[in-house]
Amino acid sequence: MQFDAALAAQDTFRRAEAELGSDWDTAVELEDTFSSNAGATAREAYERLLSLATRHPDAHSFQAFCIYITWQQVTEETIARHFETGLKLCEAYLVSREAKDQLDINYVTELYESFRAGLGLEEEDEIQVEFRKDTPKGGD
C-alpha cells in the first residue's frame, strides 16, 4: 500500500466530528478503547464503531475511518471475515455518488483492491469497473 491506514484513520476520524453530532462522544470513547487495547477489548470497540457507522451512512469521513480500521483488524487478525467486512464497507463507500474527499476515495480504492486480493478475488467486478468509468480524470 502507498499509505499508512492508521494515519489515514486518525485524519478521517478528526474530520468525522461534524458528521456524527450527538454520537461523537461515543465514537471518541470507542476509538480510544480500540486504539489503546488489543484482543477482545479492541475487537468489541471495533464492532461497536462499525455499528455506529450503520447509523450514519452519510458520514463519509467516518465511513472511511471504519474502512481504515478494518484494515488494521486484518493486520491484527488475518481472517476472511475482516476481509469480507472491508470489501463490503469499501463497496458501499465507492458506490455512493455523494461528494467525498478525493484522497479518501484513492485510499479506499486501494484498500478495496487489497481486500479483494486477500479473498482471492483478482478480477475487477462490476462495481469497480463502473466506479473507474465514473471517476473524473485529471482536468475533468
pLDDT at 126: 63
pTM score of the predicted model: 0.84
- Concatenating the DSSP letter of every residue in 32-95 gives HHHHH--HHHHHHHHHHHHHHHHT-TT-HHHHHHHHHHHHHHHHHS--HHHHHHHHHHHHHHHH
**Single-letter amino acid code for the residue at 122:** E
pLDDT at 140: 47
pLDDT at 134: 67
52 vs 24: CA distance, rounded Å: 10
pLDDT averages per 10-residue partition of the chain, 140 residues? 92 96 97 94 96 95 97 91 96 87 94 93 65 60
